[in-house]
Structure formats: C-alpha cells, structure tokens
Structure 1
C-alpha cells in the first residue's frame, strides 16, 4: 500500500489535494444545497471498505473508529447478500402482507422488555423521533418536551426544536425545556446524581406548567452523546423516569446512536439503568447503513393513536429495508456481537486509561463498550475545555489513518465510537497509534 499521507488544506483555503479531489469538491460546492459539510477538515475519497476499515483511492487503509452506522461492518457479506437477494425479488411496502416483516418485528421486539410490544418502521432517526414525539403528545395531551442542554435528536423541523446542538440558528420551541447532562461533577456537595437529575426534571416540569404546557415527554439519548458521553453511574435514570411519570409524561429513550449493543453490556442503553421506557427510537446501525429506523412502543401508548390516526411511511418497512435489518440481527446472533463488544470495549478503555493516566490534559475517560469519550482540557485541575488540542489530536490520528471525531458543547471530548465490528486486532492498532499521538500531544 502507498505510504503517502493525505494532503492538507492551509489556513487560507489553498489546497495541494490531488486535482481529481479538488475537481470533485468544486463540482460538489456548485450543485449541492446548503448545509453540506465534510466529516473531516481534510477530505479523503474512499473507494472500498471492510469490517472497520475504509480504503482510499491509493490503497491506504484507514481504521474507522467513528462511523457506527455500519455496525456489523462495512460491506458485510451477509447483509449484502440479503439485500441483493431481496432486490432481485420484490420491494413492496407495508400496505401489503410481508411475512419477513412480521418475523423481523417479532425478533426485534424479543430483545426488549415485554412491556414494549409494538414496532413502527420509518427510514431515519429523525423520522423515528418525530413520530415518537407525535405519539407522546397524542397519548398525554401535553405539548411540553424536556431534553438535555446540548442534545441532538434529529433534523426535521419538529425534532430540531428540541435539538440544541444544532446551534443558535436553529431555535428551540417555546414548549421545550433543557436540563443538565448527567455529569456527576455538577452535583452539589452530598447530592447524588440521581437526586440532581430529579431536581432538574422537577424544575423543568414546573416551568413548563407555569407557561401553560403540560408535559408530553422527556427524550434522552441513552449515551448522552452530544452532551459529552455520560453513561454512568448505572441506575441514575430511575429518578428521572419517576418524575416524568408523576407529571403524566412519557420517557422516550433515543437509541439511534447507543443502541444495537454499542455500549457492550446490553443490547439497548436504557437497559443498563434497569428502567423500561414508554417509547424507544432507533436507526443508524439498524440496517448497517441501509435507510431503516424503528420506534418501539408500549401498546397502551400507541394503540389509540393507531386507531385514530393513519401513519404510513412510503419507504419505511419496505422489503429490502427489512432484509437488511434482519441480516443485521442474524450477524448479532451468529457472531456473538454483544459479547465481543464488551470484551474489546473493556480492552480499549483500559488501554486509553493507561496511555493518558499521567496527562494533565485529560480530565477523564467516560462511556461503555465501544462508545468512549476522552475529555481534553487545558489542565485537569481547572477543567477548562481545550477544543484546539482536541482537534489537533483528531487531525494527528487522521494523519496516521485512524478516524475519530469529537463531541460535547465545547467540542473538547474525543469521540471514539467504532462499529461493533471492531476486532481485537483493530483495538491493538488503535492503541498503538494513539500512543504515538499521545506522546506528542498529551
């Protein structure tokens, strides 16, 4: 393979990228609509992939420790075969009887607590959260929504209204109230995280009611990803759910990013806390990159809505989407994915902790399974975010052909979120390269 590293773009926007890539970027900027961005400062054109690896046009192998959409692996042969076989047969929608659709729903629901027994199939995580909120409002008669301060739940107009991560240019709804992320460092002396979060929810509910809004739902990403990744201590969600139910609202667990065993010790992030949501949303890894998402309901929450409101998604639940999603479940069963994630995730976290133990620039490492956050600060005694150093680490890793990203309100948390296809050899390669970068920047 070529040893050539990616070309850089300087501060003035001048580029020594290959002419072919420059041409693609120029044409892209001419024809694509507003808002499109590259995932990396220095674009790379990938032409093939496998497992947790992306291959560029020159044959360079990049380790993908960021893109969990291809959960069971880029170009997984079993998923490819299932989709191709179904495409060659038919691709009907949910208005027609499909035995594979029913069988898939039965298999997927078997991974949930028995209380969660009904499944709807949109296409994207944004659509899933949009439907979840719609049903919650119908069921409760309320309009109020509670989310965390830097949450991201999607990009439809409705869902964007409670996704503060989109920034000041995307206004929040007047019926939306924000609470702290579950960061134990925000607790006052002697207060548990559960108590702190309960107080936050009580205050939000009271303020909604003061302004004439009955609570419809609290929605929470089970890994609190965009807030900076907070998964522990296990059990803190109990108090939150109790407060929401006491006010007549519903708890929506957003598993679009954290679901499908990404956290390692369970199939779904909410399960770690021993709570049962009223609604669960999912997407991304559900179809291994194929556009399919899901909303799972308690029957008492969804049944009346289904009787009085016609919900239909033209592309959601089509035969090919179901084939992709079913193949993903096959892989989970055949490859013992959850167990592999738990083992490799523990090794990855232990390695990161060892490599950063003496660094004054690492405040802490958080997360579970193959879903980890490394908080970068100017000094761990002061905890002032250092987004510039965080970005430098990401770029240096990228120069060594390892892909990660960042998260958190200040953009100072390294987001290490590989697909669940990550192997023990992938973990070893990641840690070897991270050690080189850490020696320079940490």
Structure 2
C-alpha cells in the first residue's frame, strides 16, 4: 500500500517539547515557584524546564536519581552518563588524574596518546585519526570545517528535524533548534526514513529521491556539496533506527563529491546494542564521525574520528588547537568509559534490555487499545502515539500525558520528533533487569490510567494495533526469521515471558 499521501502531516509550528508552561506555574508549591522565578530572573527565558512539575535532583548513582524530597527515580532518559551516574571506575580515574596533572594537547603525554589509540581501534580501520573537542557541538563544527576544506564545497544536507549542536554555524543546520534559528542558505533538508508512514519497500527510494533532489538544488544554485551530516538513529526526527537507507545514501553523496559525517553523540558507545557505533549497525564507513559528552560519562570531552587523508589535507592550511579539548582528566574519564563498556559487556546488555522494553511496551499498548508505534535499537527507543492507525495523525496530547504520568510514577523520559508525539527512552547502558521490570510495570500503570481516563470521558480514540515487525521481519531487532509461523510462535513466547516478568515485579 502506498502511504505517500499520509507520509508528512502538516507542521504548523516548531514544537517546544515537554516543557514547564507558564500556565501551570501557579499550581506549584511556593518554594518551587520561587525557585523557578529566581531561575528565570538570573538565567533568562531561553532555558527550558522539563515536565509539568519541575524535577529537582540532588544526587544520582547508576540508573537512579534522587530528588530534594529523597524520592528515587529511574533515569530512562539521560544518555550523557552513558555507563551510569557516578560510576566508581570513572570517578576514581578522574580523581586520580586531577591529583596528578590536567593540562592540554600541546604537550607530549602518554595517557592522551594511548586513549587515542584505544579509541580508533573501536572504529573501522580507515578511520584512524582523532581530534579532541569539549562537546558534541564543537565536534560537529570541526567535522564540517574539515569537510568544507577538503571538498571545497559549503553545502550541507541534514534531516528535517535534526539537532547537531548549538554553535552559530551548527545551529544553522540544526532545524530543531527553533523557529528563530535561521538555516543557512547552503543548508538543505531531507525527510527521515519514517517507518510508520512509509512501506518498507519504498523507504530507500523515498529517502534517496529526496537526497538527490537536494543535491540537484544545490548544484543549480552553484553550491557544491560538502557533506551529508546524519545521526543513524534519526534521533531528533522521532527515532527511526536506520532501516537500511544510509548505505545507498553514502554512495550517492560520494558520487556527488561530498563526504558523509556520522553524528555518534547519541547513537555511539554501544547504545544501539548491535555494535560500538551506530554507523556500524548501518553497514557504512563514513568519512568522519563525531562524539560528545557520553564519551566521558558527562566530562567535557568530544571528538572527531576521521580518515587520516582528510585530516592531512585539513592540516595543510589549518593548525587546530583546543585548550580544553583533550585535557588529561576528561581523557581519563573517557578511557574508563571504554573499559566499563568492555568489562561489563554493556553492548550486549543494551540489546537484551532494549529488546525486552520494545516487546513489553508493544504488548502493553496493544492490550490497552492505543494507536502507536514502538521502534528502537538497543537502549534507544521511540514510542510514537497517533490518533489512529489509518491516518497516523500525530497525537501529542497523549504523548505528553504519558511522559508526565511516567514522571509521577518516578520514571524519567522525555519527548522527541517534529510533532512532539514520540516518547524518548534512552537510559544509561547499565540498565539492570530490575530496572527493566520496573520500567515496564510503571509503563503499564500509566497506560491503564490514561486508557481508563479516556474511556470514562467518552473520548476513546485509540485502536488496537498488532505488534509491529522490524525490517528483518522479526519483532526482535537483529533476528531474521523466514517462517511466519515460527516468528509468530517466538513472538508469543516472548510476550508471555514479559507478562510473567511484569507480574513478578508487581509482587
């Protein structure tokens, strides 16, 4: 069935996602309201607070965050502490280094060199150079500087609702930054591979047609393509784990004379459960990849890993230096993160717990008559709500109600997507079995509450939706089953097992 007619619901505004509204300020207790007002006076209105009731954390450990009232929350959102809040191995490494020395890359220091070697070893052999930054924004800025220097072009293509950073240049090709952010004249946008609104067999053609059209438009205006900058999870667009479109897209970009930059700030360091890096799951070798603060579990470190030939060309005209990029203490944290991912087998853990969450949430929403799509890879999951499965009109109200309902159940998530109708689930990689059970238990609690409220008020609009399947034909990412009967049997067994786990966690 052709779905192009419903592939792009009309956008009427830039969505401000999951933020405290001025309308609800008067409902807060006096101390919280006073703190919000003080924050606004001294920090200004550009900052946003999440949730209907602001969250006030004071300490954290592993996957848990504790608020000012002493309540424990499960962090199912924050990817920056990639191996868990205050992981002792990371904390010890940073403390030891701060007691020793913390300076910059102008000096010859073994620890920085050894980390650089260890990092590039996790990448494809062609990606053999690394340049350090403090943040993902800086890394993306640097990556495009390299691409523009090497290609001689200035054009950049990103997805329609991408976010790649907050520097002036990077914001000009981060369309999700807000309606006040002016996109550059040499910036072009392509729609993400929307696996809910497009059939599997048309996704690649749809994506490539749009990509070619934007390359052609740049050429007509005398603008040479420098790069396609892409996050293989299409995170800000609504979380669409690459269904296989990026390999052909990379070939197209290279034929046009551009480079491929893989933004790994969110999809890297084992998060997809399939490999260390998101691009490896997509079976491509980008020309440059970028990383941000999950690299150091929240310490100020990022970087660009590139093919050495590109860095050589860039360095002929540019002497790159970043005072804090590559400091010893953040490097010590980053080295510790690599060790924790390896020693605690966190890539496998991301796949195991992510598969359970995807299947469990699909089952829960199906049984409670929501119209939805749950998609993900490893511990990066998007839960999209729509008004019904025929029109697939985005249902932002249900999404926000669900996110705030989970917050009341002490589960932290947030929203994503250009319509604000996708729950973003992105916990630290150390998510345990007990955490997974707790997440599914509270998810079901909220699903029942919202479903009951909707029916009581006579506004039930959700329809039953069968368990979606992945691009391989299996509801479990990465498992290909050719026989429908076997697939259905496996799906039923897994769902029954998840129901048992949820029942045990209630007890």
Is TM-score (shorter-chain normalized) higher than 0.5?
yes
The offset of 1:145, in angstroms, is 0.5
Equivalent of 2:445 in 430, 436, 442: 436
The aligned residue for residue 155 of structure 1 is: 166
Distance 1:362 1:52 in 2: 30
Residues 232 and 367 in structure 1, CA contact (< 8 A), matched pair in contact too = no
Gaps of 5+ in 2: 1-19, 452-507
User: Relative to 1, partners in 2 of residues 1:130 and 1:82: Cα closer, same or farther, differing over 3 Å?
Assistant: same
Equivalent of 1:391 in 400, 404, 409: 400
The aligned residue for residue 203 of structure 1 is: 213
User: Relative to 1, partners in 2 of residues 1:95 and 1:195: Cα closer, same or farther, differing over 3 Å?
Assistant: same
The offset of 1:191, in angstroms, is 5.1
Give deviations 1:315-351, integer Å, cap 9, x for gaps: 1100111011111111112111111111111111111
The offset of 1:27, in angstroms, is 2.3
Gaps of 5+ in 1: 1-7
The aligned residue for residue 352 of structure 1 is: 361
The offset of 1:412, in angstroms, is 0.2
Distance 2:367 2:421 in 1: 18
Give the secondary-structure state (helix, strand or coil) at the position aligned to 1:118: strand
Give deviations 1:112-147, integer Å, cap 9, x for gaps: 000000001101111110000000000000011101
Residues 286 and 293 in structure 1, CA contact (< 8 A), matched pair in contact too = yes
The aligned residue for residue 62 of structure 2 is: 51
Distance 1:18 1:70 in 2: 32
The offset of 1:9, in angstroms, is 8.2
Distance 1:265 1:93 in 2: 34
Q: Is 1:222 matched with 2:232?
A: yes
The offset of 1:24, in angstroms, is 2.8
Q: Is 1:192 matched with 2:198?
A: no
The aligned residue for residue 183 of structure 1 is: 194
Distance 2:405 2:437 in 1: 18
The aligned residue for residue 42 of structure 2 is: 31
Q: Is 1:124 matched with 2:107?
A: no
Task: Return 39-48 or 320-329, whichever deviates more.
Answer: 39-48
Residues 341 and 369 in structure 1, CA contact (< 8 A), matched pair in contact too = yes
Q: Is 1:170 matched with 2:181?
A: yes
The aligned residue for residue 261 of structure 2 is: 252
Equivalent of 1:378 in 387, 399, 415: 387
Q: Is 1:97 matched with 2:108?
A: yes
Number of residues paired by the alignment? 432
Give the secondary-structure state (helix, strand or coil) at the position aligned to 2:23: coil
Residues 362 and 374 in structure 1, CA contact (< 8 A), matched pair in contact too = no
RMSD: 1.6
Distance 2:217 2:168 in 1: 23
Give the secondary-structure state (helix, strand or coil) at the position aligned to 1:192: helix
Distance 2:352 2:246 in 1: 25
Q: Is 1:286 matched with 2:295?
A: yes
Residues 115 and 335 in structure 2, CA contact (< 8 A), matched pair in contact too = yes
The offset of 1:309, in angstroms, is 0.4
The aligned residue for residue 330 of structure 1 is: 339
Give the secondary-structure state (helix, strand or coil) at the position aligned to 2:237: coil
Distance 1:34 1:441 in 2: 32
Residues 195 and 240 in structure 2, CA contact (< 8 A), matched pair in contact too = no
The aligned residue for residue 275 of structure 2 is: 266
Distance 1:39 1:12 in 2: 12
The aligned residue for residue 319 of structure 2 is: 310
User: Relative to 1, partners in 2 of residues 1:36 and 1:11: Cα closer, same or farther, differing over 3 Å?
Assistant: closer
Give the secondary-structure state (helix, strand or coil) at the position aligned to 1:421: coil
TM, length-normalised to structure 1: 0.94
The aligned residue for residue 471 of structure 2 is: none
Distance 1:107 1:344 in 2: 27
Distance 1:411 1:435 in 2: 21
Distance 1:362 1:309 in 2: 53
Give the secondary-structure state (helix, strand or coil) at the position aligned to 2:26: coil
The offset of 1:232, in angstroms, is 4.1
Distance 1:78 1:314 in 2: 26
Q: Is 1:427 matched with 2:439?
A: no
Equivalent of 1:343 in 337, 352, 367: 352
The aligned residue for residue 109 of structure 1 is: 120
